[in-house]
Amino acid sequence: MDSRGKTALITGGAHRLGGAISLALAESGCNVVVHFNTSATMAGETASKIEDRGVKCLTVQADLCQHSQVLALFETIDRAGWDVDILVNSAAIMEAEDLLSADEDTWARTIDLNLKGAFFCLQQAAQRMQVHGGSIVNISDVAAHRPWPRYPIHSISKAGLEMLTRVAALRLAPKIRVNAIAPGPIAKPASMSEARWQEITNELPLKRGGDPQDVAQAVLFLIENDFITGETLFVDGGNRWV
């Protein structure tokens, strides 16, 4: 798919990884719908940067844990007269919890956003792509392949997202392609010490952490290569091998 002139919806597209993807797609010539939940200020700042690149931007607030708000997100895009040619499911939460003490609320926060929200965004986008085709990229995690005992629900949610990727790729072909990206250590979390970040990244074969731009460029690759579907592309510095 040639991304120029297309419209891309990026969930969680206001900042960090989602923000980098939003800007990369704008650079490629896409008009961009930046979804956000609570990051209104950052969404506005990202929208200004997108428009500075000579393309259009629409910002839409929605809590993707709520099915009604997923529907409202797409209805807002419809009312604006925009198509959805590309969907990037980037919105996610990652919380540490213990397997034996995690409660129902903890489960719901993670599964409802990382998996249920992604499922229904994919469903709504695919319904709109039926005629003209499209490309969907789900942002997974190496945790879908390497179980993290400190993040059991996150690991489960991302494993489910990858199965969704494969099921949807088969169901929606040939008009719609669906792929996933599994990032490794990308951009130090604000809550993590520099010493701990260095410890993690020094264990990688490449001996360094990644940058959100590394993932953004992988998203562009999957959008533009029309002979790839149902695949997960690792952008992890070799993390899954160590």
So what's the pLDDT on residue 241?
A: 83
Q: 189 pLDDT band (50/70/90 cuts)?
A: confident
- Would strands 86-89 and 232-235 be described as parallel, antiparallel, or unpaired? unpaired
3-state secondary structure of 73: helix
Average pLDDT over residues 118-130: 98
User: Phi and psi of 44, rounded to 5°?
Assistant: -65, -40
So what's the pLDDT on residue 147?
A: 87
Crossing angle of helices 40-52 and 16-27, rounded to 10°: 20
Sort residue 95 into left (φ over 0), alpha (ψ -120 to 50) or beta: beta
Average pLDDT over residues 3-28: 97
What is the fold, at CATH topology level, of the domain defined by 7-241?
Rossmann fold (3.40.50)
Q: Provide the residue type at 123 as one letter.
A: Q
Residues marked active site are found at: 151, 158
| 188, 208 Cβ separation under 8 angstroms | no
Of 1, 33, 32, residue with least CA distance to 177 = 1
Domain residue limits, the chain: 7-241
So what's the pLDDT on residue 143?
A: 94
Structure-token match 């929606």, residue found: 172
| 88, 20 Cβ separation under 8 angstroms | no
Structure-token match 């990382």, residue found: 114
| 97, 156 Cβ separation under 8 angstroms | no
Average pLDDT over residues 198-221: 95
The rounded mean pLDDT for the chain is 96
So what's the pLDDT on residue 192?
A: 83
Indicate the pTM of the whole model.
Answer: 0.96
Instruction: Tell me how far apart the alpha carbons of residues 206 and 146 are, in angstroms, rounded to a whole number.
Output: 18
- Would strands 57-61 and 86-89 be described as parallel, antiparallel, or unpaired? unpaired
Other CB atoms within a 10 A radius of the CB of residue 99 amount to: 10
20-68: pLDDT as tens digits: 999 999 999 999 999 999 999 999 999 999 999 999 999 999 999 999 9
Other CB atoms within a 10 A radius of the CB of residue 236 amount to: 25
Q: 240 pLDDT band (50/70/90 cuts)?
A: confident
66-79: pLDDT as tens digits: 999 999 999 999 99
Which pair of tokens denotes residue 160? 């489910």
| 139, 88 Cβ separation under 8 angstroms | yes
Q: 191 pLDDT band (50/70/90 cuts)?
A: confident
Cα–Cα distances (Å) from 146 to 149, 208, 242, in that order, read: 10, 19, 10
Element (H, E) at 76: helix 67-79
